[in-house]
Amino acid sequence: MKVLSISPNGADRTHSERRRQILEKYPQVETLFGHDETTFKIALGIFALQMTIAALLGWLGLSWWPLTLLFAICIGAFANHANYVIIHDALHNCVFANPLHNKLTALLADLSNGFPTAMGLRCYHVKHHSHLSAYDYDADVPGHWEVEWVGNSTWRKAVWMFFFPAIQLSRLVRLQGTVPIWGKWTYINIAVIVVFDLIVLNVFGANAMLYLFLSFWFAVGGLHPLSARWLQEHFAHGPDQGTFDYYGPLNTLALNIGYHTGHHDFPEVPWMRLPALKAMTPEFYEDLECQRSWVAMLVTFIFDPRYSLKTRTQNVEAASRSLSLEPAAATAG
């Protein structure tokens, strides 16, 4: 399915259409719906790994900051990126049947980020699915100021990628009127992270806290290869698509987050079963444009002047313009 379906408010509805078509032809896809408690065990393992490394680096002290930086880039970024996928699945209630247990899993995965992200993501990610690529609802869409400032400048694209964690956070201000960010669980998330950070700082020292912060930063931005995920998911790398997949070696460490089209079609499918979804319904996914290398994508985006932040929504906007022209053409006819 390579024809975009756009709603009157400019949201990409292609996934709803493909979902309907898949379920008509392959009703057995519903057997993939559900929960996978293995994800919680992985979250526990990542937490233990991150805290062990943080404790070691804290014991060494801040004078060992170059080693801390190296560990964050080579290990911590991958660990915390996996945590984001765990948070993501938990927010879709794909870990446990009990919603409370999913929220607690998300908070556990958020601890080693050193920054409260889980419940904020919970609020705006729902709108990302229901109003995909609609500027007023989807925090994944770059703000107008970002598009204007970055343009297709190589160095500005690099700066934008490096500071992406802070830039993405700034978008929440734009969405306050449409996405309710502040609520009980947001405050709980902030309180838990603040208390945890103070414990880490007092027990293990400043270098431990630095490691957790750098792991968080490079998991999302910092020009790390993992940061190309944000380019892969919805930037227009080919015509007539709003969502793109990544089928490369880092998918294993990234807990299959590269299977993004299938996830948007069926958010009830846990990350571990997404390859099975693609294998079960091959004709719906095999012909779609995809990426094989996050590193190549990152380099291409930065150095190729054809790519800018406008690339994020160019296919959806083109489809919206075509939709708006259809009534006029019908009237004229």
Any domain includes 5: no
Any domain includes 333: no
SS3 161: helix
Q: How many independent structural domains does the chain possess? A: 1
Give the range of the structural domain holding residue 78, as residue numbers without chain letter.
Answer: 14-328
User: What's the mean pLDDT in 262-281?
Assistant: 97
User: What's the mean pLDDT in 25-48?
Assistant: 97
User: What's the mean pLDDT in 312-318?
Assistant: 86
126 burial type by CB count under 10 A (0-12 exposed, 13-18 middle, 19+ buried): middle
Instruction: List, for residues 211-234, the tens digit of each pLDDT value.
Output: 999 999 999 999 999 999 999 999
Q: Please choose, from the candidates 103, 109, 115, 110, the residue with its C-alpha nearest in 3D space to the C-alpha of residue 185.
A: 103
Q: Give me the pLDDT at residue 328, please.
A: 47
pLDDT > 90 fraction of the chain, expressed in percent and rounded: 78
Pairing, β 245-246 against β 290-291: parallel
Q: Which residue is associated with the tokens 């095999």? A: 286
Question: Is there a contact between 327 and 284 (Cβ–Cβ < 8 Å)?
Answer: no
Any domain includes 2: no
Using the predicted structure, report yes or no on whether residue 245 has a pLDDT greater than 70: yes
Q: Which residue is associated with the tokens 């006029």? A: 328
User: What's the mean pLDDT in 130-158?
Assistant: 93
The runs of H, that is alpha helices, within the chain are: 14-25, 38-60, 65-71, 77-91, 99-111, 118-130, 144-150, 154-162, 164-174, 184-203, 206-220, 229-234, 260-265, 274-280, 294-303, 314-332
Task: Return d(Cα 110, Cα 26) in angstroms, integer.
Answer: 36
**Number of other residues whose CB lies within 10 A of the CB of residue 236:** 20
Q: Residue 198: which residues within 8 A CB-CB, separation 6 or more?
A: none
pLDDT band at 323 (very low <50, low <70, confident <90, very high): low
Instruction: List, for residues 40-85, the tens digit of each pLDDT value.
Output: 999 999 999 999 999 999 999 999 999 999 999 999 999 999 999 9
Any domain includes 4: no
Q: Give me the pLDDT at residue 176, please.
A: 63
User: What's the mean pLDDT in 22-32?
Assistant: 97
User: What's the mean pLDDT in 178-184?
Assistant: 77
Using the predicted structure, report yes or no on whether residue 117 has a pLDDT greater than 50: yes
Any domain includes 6: no
Whether the full predicted model's pTM is greater than 0.95, yes or no, is no
- State phi, psi for 258 to the nearest 5 degrees: -65, -20
Q: Give me the pLDDT at residue 114, please.
A: 92
Task: Return d(Cα 103, Cα 89) in angstroms, integer.
Answer: 10
Q: Give me the pLDDT at residue 330, please.
A: 46
Q: Give me the pLDDT at residue 329, please.
A: 47
pLDDT band at 87 (very low <50, low <70, confident <90, very high): very high
Any domain includes 45: yes
pLDDT band at 148 (very low <50, low <70, confident <90, very high): very high
Using the predicted structure, report yes or no on whether residue 294 has a pLDDT greater than 50: yes
Q: Give me the pLDDT at residue 326, please.
A: 54
Q: Which residue is associated with the tokens 């603040």? A: 194
Question: What type of residue is 292?
Answer: R
Using the predicted structure, report yes or no on whether residue 96 has a pLDDT greater than 50: yes
Question: What is the greatest pairwise CA distance in the chain?
Answer: 76
Any domain includes 59: yes
Any domain includes 3: no
